[in-house]
Amino acid sequence: MAQPSETTNKHTISVLVDNEAGVLARVVGLFSGRGYNIESLTVAEIDAKKSLSRINIVTSGTPMIIEQIKAQLTRLVPIHKVRDLTLDGARVERELALIKVRGRGNRRVESLRIADIFRASVLDSTNESFVFEIVGSAEKVDAFVKLMESLGLSDVSRTGVVAISRGEETM
Amino acid sequence: MTDQKLNGSQILLKALVDQGVDVVFGYPGGAVLPIYDELFKQNAIRHVLVRQEGGAVHAAEGYARSTGKVGVVLVTSGPGATNSVTGLTDALMDSIPVVCLTGQVPTHLIGNDAFQECDTTGITRSCTKHNYLVKDPNDLARVVHEAFHVARSGRPGPVVVDLPKDVSMGMGTYSPRASVRKMSYRPRLRGDSAMIEKAVDIMARAKRPIFYCGGGVINSGPAASKRLGELVHATGFPCTLTLMGLGAFPASDRQFVGMLGMHGTYEANLAMYHCDVLINIGARFDDRITGKIAEFCPKATKIHVDIDSSSINKSVFVDIGIVGDAANVLKEMLAHWQLKRRHLERKALAKWWTQIDKWRARDCLRYRQDSKVIKPQYAIQRLYELTKDRDDVYITTEVGQHQMWAAQFFRFEKPNHWMTSGGLGTMGYGLPAAIGAQVAHPKALVIDIAGESSIMMNIQEMSTAAQHRLPVKVFIINNEYMGMVRQWQELLHGGRYSESYMDSLPDFVRLAESFHAVGLRATRPDEVDDVIKEMIAIDRPVIADIRVDKKENCFPMIPSGAAHYDMLLGPGDEAENKISEDGMVLV
């Protein structure tokens, strides 16, 4: 007679998969087919010898939905492991973004000043534009992008979140 | 020896033989010609030629469900593959082990919009348990072995292996079955012992318990059904089964309270509503079972045993979830039960049974007999009565009213004798499924209880039955309507029978004759027995056209979105119940 909680929370889920054709389509198809949310998704091979890739997914849902997402992922044949980094204790999350800002005069100086505060570096510059690189939590990137909006923000490219657990434990 | 080079088609057939395959349901075409050429040269595998690829998958399902083995399909690329999609989805929804081999254009043409090309792995990704595209003949044997392993283990399901023509023609080496293992795929078969013990503790203290069991028990194999019987008897609890679970517990047993759900019995549904402990073994809280979730077993502590962890807490939140194979978990439950049974709430249980017997006395499947018009229930009841003494009767159905009446009036004592499209609800399933079951059991009495609308969806398979001398019986409950559609239109849409009348039906007797079968017809109640007896006696395919009451509806019925206590109980009770607006949007 237990009752499930109805609160929606954001979760970062890491998935270890065989790096084979169609595996990303299986994961993405699962989310779209069952109506789950994807806030961000990153994927890259992490072990060429064993041909393993790691997919990091940021999603949100009630505890029942999150459990369901993990169970459905586990069910996919080429998936080795599913870890809910949000539930499994401390973790480190990073996102990288490239941000183009166009402007002249004071606005240009201001954008450079803020970039300095955020420890964003300048990767490219013209007389009228900068490309900044910023690394940090998704929230930090969000804050930086927001500040740039009034200073000539013209293009944003973000990687999505990569995450790993803190401490000695491995996936 | 193992380094001997074979062509891809030879490798494929060798792998199938190694997997114990003796029959394949299929249809040839350009992309699979090399495979058909090898089939021609051998005798180990029988090929059953269907008339449309969709029929091949349903036939493989019928074969699989009546034997517990993997059903195998072989179709060509493009339309061959797309025609099999409905069957694959059906097998996925009902967890039926099927391996579907699809031809594909040569690898260098893939992506070129070549003739009869389609993105088979893309199209079937969401309607299979897993799928493969083989790109090298050297991988072929491994992939086929893996495909069978995935199809039959864990929660069974369909697996597609897409075979480009250059792979089935190219040379490669064979790898034997034992050498194959997929590291990432390890279904959990043993339940958590501590959880099982906790579950049994709860069961031992139950005052109003009920077992609610489904197709998972049947998929787990005969041992699971046997152990379920032992546990139900040891506990003395009532047991209800889902549409998919019929046969997992004997219908004649006093502890069986009938099927539950939308067209389940009054006693089963009310026992669900009032129970204090629910023990779900291998069922998945389908919406046809639960009705309104907020009022589903509101007072019950819920225990759920399922081999698929994603079934647990999907739609109904449970107190104890046990991931494991039904046969294993039931065995452990039985062992624990022997230790706990002395704590039983005997008085409360006796009271519970008194209540259930009162519900039973309502006789919810009662129908008004008529001397002039054949009631559909009567036809199915007579079919059951006249065949119940045989133990080799296999029943398939199409989808609709006749399916529900078959589930209510045909009583199953053993697993694997009842095959119906439960999850997907595929009209046209029954005839090819009967063909598959008959291929597996040539001497058995295989009957497709059909509706006149459903049977038209795969009627071409009569030709398959004739060619392969498969004496399947098609028992058509003919009311000239898509009966279930008409029933819903009557209850929900003001009796506006939009497109549900089946006009211009064929003469089924002459249709049967043109398909080299025998056609029979009954139009009056006193003809029903003779037609059934004659049908059984004929050792050829038969279509029996049973002209039944056109207006009969299927009861009990829980309208969609209603709770278990909100049952419509046939003529007289109908007016009192209305379906809510919320319920109308539910299908």
Cβ distance of B317 and A64 shorter than 8 Å: yes
Q: Which residues contact B488 (CB under 8 A, 6 or more apart)?
A: none
- pLDDT more than 90, % of chain B: 93
* Alpha-carbon span B440 to B427, nearest angstrom: 22
**Nearest by CB to B184, which of A2, A64, A77?**
A77
In this predicted structure, the answer to whether residue B584 has a pLDDT above a threshold of 90 is no
Cβ distance of B121 and A67 shorter than 8 Å: no
Q: What is the mean pLDDT of the segment spanning A21-42?
A: 96
pLDDT at residue number B457: 98
Q: What is the pLDDT of residues B96-107, one digit of tens each?
A: 999 999 999 999
pLDDT at residue number B353: 98
ipTM given for this complex? 0.93
Q: Which residue of B has its CA nearest to A68?
A: B310
The position carrying tokens 């039944």 is B548
Cβ distance of A1 and B308 shorter than 8 Å: no
End-to-end alpha carbon distance in chain B: 58
Instruction: Enumerate domains of chain A plus CATH numbers.
Output: 4-84 (3.30.70.260), 91-163 (3.30.70.1150)
pLDDT at residue number B229: 98
In this predicted structure, the answer to whether residue B561 has a pLDDT above a threshold of 50 is yes
pLDDT at residue number B570: 82
Amino acid B75 reads V
Contact list in B for residue A18 (CB cut-off 8 A) is 184
* Alpha-carbon span B488 to B452, nearest angstrom: 18
The 10 Å Cβ neighbour count of residue B498 is: 9
Give contacts of A 4-23 with B, CB under 8 A. 4, 17-18, 21-22
Q: State the pLDDT confidence band at B574, using cuts at 50, 70 and 90.
A: very low
Q: In angstroms, what separates the C-alpha of A23 from chain B's closest C-alpha?
A: 10
Residues in chain B: 587
pTM of the prediction? 0.95
Task: Note whether B116 and B29 are within 8 A (CB).
Answer: yes
Interface of B with A (CB under 8 A): 121-122, 125-126, 129-131, 133, 150, 155, 182-185, 299-302, 308-310, 312-314, 317-319
In this predicted structure, the answer to whether residue B456 has a pLDDT above a threshold of 50 is yes
Q: Is B115 a catalytic residue?
A: yes
Task: Note whether A8 and A61 are within 8 A (CB).
Answer: yes
Q: Residue B86, SS3? A: helix
Cβ distance of B319 and A3 shorter than 8 Å: no
Tokens encoding A156: 């944003």
Cβ distance of B310 and A75 shorter than 8 Å: yes
Tokens encoding B131: 């799928």
Average pLDDT taken over every residue of chain B = 95
Q: Which residue of A has its CA nearest to B298?
A: A1
Q: What is the mean pLDDT of the segment spanning B229-248?
A: 98
Count of A-B CB contacts under 8 Å = 56
- Going by C-alpha positions, the residue among B253, B236, B229 that lies closest to residue B412 is B253
pLDDT at residue number B576: 45
Q: Is A68 on the interface with B (CB under 8 A)?
A: yes
In this predicted structure, the answer to whether residue B37 has a pLDDT above a threshold of 70 is yes
Q: What is the pLDDT of residues A104-161, one digit of tens each?
A: 999 999 999 999 999 999 999 999 999 999 999 999 999 999 999 999 999 999 999 9
In this predicted structure, the answer to whether residue B575 has a pLDDT above a threshold of 50 is no
Task: Note whether B113 and B105 are within 8 A (CB).
Answer: no
Q: Is B578 a catalytic residue?
A: no
Q: What is the mean pLDDT of the segment spanning B108-113?
A: 97
Q: What is the mean pLDDT of the segment spanning A71-79?
A: 96
* Alpha-carbon span B74 to B102, nearest angstrom: 6
Contact list in A for residue B309 (CB cut-off 8 A) is 71, 74-75
Which residues partner with B72 through β-bridges?
B99
Q: What is the mean pLDDT of the segment spanning B57-80?
A: 98
* Alpha-carbon span B196 to B209, nearest angstrom: 16
* Alpha-carbon span B477 to B532, nearest angstrom: 13
The position carrying tokens 């348990």 is B129
Q: State the pLDDT confidence band at B581, using cuts at 50, 70 and 90.
A: low
Tokens encoding B546: 């049973």
Cβ distance of A68 and B314 shorter than 8 Å: yes
In this predicted structure, the answer to whether residue B578 has a pLDDT above a threshold of 60 is no
Contact list in B for residue A75 (CB cut-off 8 A) is 155, 308-310
Longest dimension (CA), chain B: 76
Q: State the pLDDT confidence band at B113, using cuts at 50, 70 and 90.
A: very high
- pLDDT more than 70, % of chain A: 99
- pLDDT more than 90, % of chain A: 94
**Nearest by CB to A26, which of B125, B310, B319?**
B125
Q: State the pLDDT confidence band at B572, using cuts at 50, 70 and 90.
A: low
The 10 Å Cβ neighbour count of residue B189 is: 16
Q: State the pLDDT confidence band at B192, using cuts at 50, 70 and 90.
A: very high
* Alpha-carbon span B286 to B317, nearest angstrom: 13
In this predicted structure, the answer to whether residue B449 has a pLDDT above a threshold of 50 is yes
Describe the strand order of the beta sheet including B320-323 as a list of residue ranges. Answer: B256-259, B239-241, B209-213, B277-281, B301-306, B320-323
pLDDT at residue number B529: 98
Q: What is the pLDDT of residues B361-404, one digit of tens each?
A: 999 999 998 899 999 999 999 999 999 999 999 999 999 999 99
Q: Is A140 on the interface with B (CB under 8 A)?
A: no
- pLDDT more than 70, % of chain B: 96
Q: Is B116 a catalytic residue?
A: yes
The position carrying tokens 């807490």 is B313
- Residue B345 vs residue B154, higher pLDDT: B154
Cβ distance of A75 and B313 shorter than 8 Å: no
Tokens encoding B194: 């501590």
Contact list in B for residue A22 (CB cut-off 8 A) is 121-122, 125, 131, 133
Q: In angstroms, what separates the C-alpha of B486 from chain A's closest C-alpha?
A: 31
